């Protein structure tokens, strides 16, 4: 079995400007490439696990998201970093304008996307790491059995549930996460 570095997208890979779906609005977070290079050097595969409720809300469609994702994966590849796969949830349980308004098991805090990656790539979740900026990222990782969960300080870290997640590692900056990659 292999180990994985799971990354949320908005707020971890790119600056979270809210519903980013255009290349011209995509701004990489400082330190993300170094973190990913280190993970690959330590034997991790890299996966993106992202909620994309903008699809359910009609702000953009799956095609726009997939075009941006391909561009992002290519930008990593140009720097010698392979993103194995991007998993995304287009659903929202209550808000939206199309067929993606529904409850599902893939939208974080549910672990569906992580479990799908585990099944498709034989990942040892206990040896894997999840880096996110929201409590829902940590909850999905916990439900999937990922022990190392890194919560990067963001505008979301004031959420009330934060204090209930005892083994979350709070960081001021993404570039400090490298000490947890072994």
Q: Domain holding 132: CATH number? A: 3.40.50.1000
- Establish if 13 belongs to a structural domain: yes
- Establish if 182 belongs to a structural domain: no
The pLDDT of 68-97, averaged and rounded, is 97
Whether the predicted pLDDT of 29 surpasses 80: yes
Query: In the chain, what percentage of residues exceed pLDDT 90?
Result: 77
- Establish if 28 belongs to a structural domain: yes
- Establish if 181 belongs to a structural domain: no
- Establish if 165 belongs to a structural domain: yes
- Establish if 159 belongs to a structural domain: yes
pLDDT in tens, 132-159: 988 899 999 999 999 888 888 766 556 5
| Residue ranges making up the domain that contains 16 | 3-176
Q: pTM to 2 decimals?
A: 0.91
Q: Which of 10, 16, 133, 137 is catalytic?
A: 10
133 catalytically annotated: no
- Establish if 91 belongs to a structural domain: yes
Strands of the sheet containing 148-152, edge to edge, are: 83-89, 44-51, 3-7, 129-132, 148-152, 168-171
> How far is residue 41's CA from residue 87's CA, in Å, rounded to a whole number?
23
133-169 b/e (C-beta count within 10 Å ≥ 16 → b): bbbbbbbbbbebebebbbbbebebeeeeeeeebeebb
Residue 182: band (very low, low, confident or very high) from pLDDT cuts 50, 70, 90: confident
10 catalytically annotated: yes
Q: Which of 8, 16, 133, 137 is catalytic?
A: 8
- Establish if 143 belongs to a structural domain: yes
Please tell me the total count of domains within the chain: 1
């Amino acid at each position: 079995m292999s180990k994985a570095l799971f990354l949320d997208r908005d707020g971890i890979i790119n600056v979270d400007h809210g519903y980013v779906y255009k290349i011209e609005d995509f701004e990489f977070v400082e330190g993300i490439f170094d973190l990913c290079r280190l993970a690959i050097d330590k034997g991790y595969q890299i996966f993106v696990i992202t909620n994309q409720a903008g699809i359910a809300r009609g702000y953009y469609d799956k095609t726009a998201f997939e075009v941006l994702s391909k561009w992002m994966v290519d930008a990593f590849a140009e720097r010698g970093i392979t993103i194995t796969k991007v998993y995304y949830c287009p659903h929202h349980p209550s808000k939206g304008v199309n067929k993606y308004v529904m409850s599902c098991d893939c939208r974080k805090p549910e672990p569906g996307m992580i479990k799908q990656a585990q099944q498709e790539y034989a990942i040892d979740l206990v040896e894997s790491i999840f880096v996110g900026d929201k409590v829902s990222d940590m909850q999905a990782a916990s439900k999937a059995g990922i022990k190392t969960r890194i919560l990067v300080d963001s505008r979301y870290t004031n959420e009330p549930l934060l204090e209930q997640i005892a083994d979350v590692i709070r960081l001021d900056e993404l570039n400090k996460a490298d000490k947890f990659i072994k």
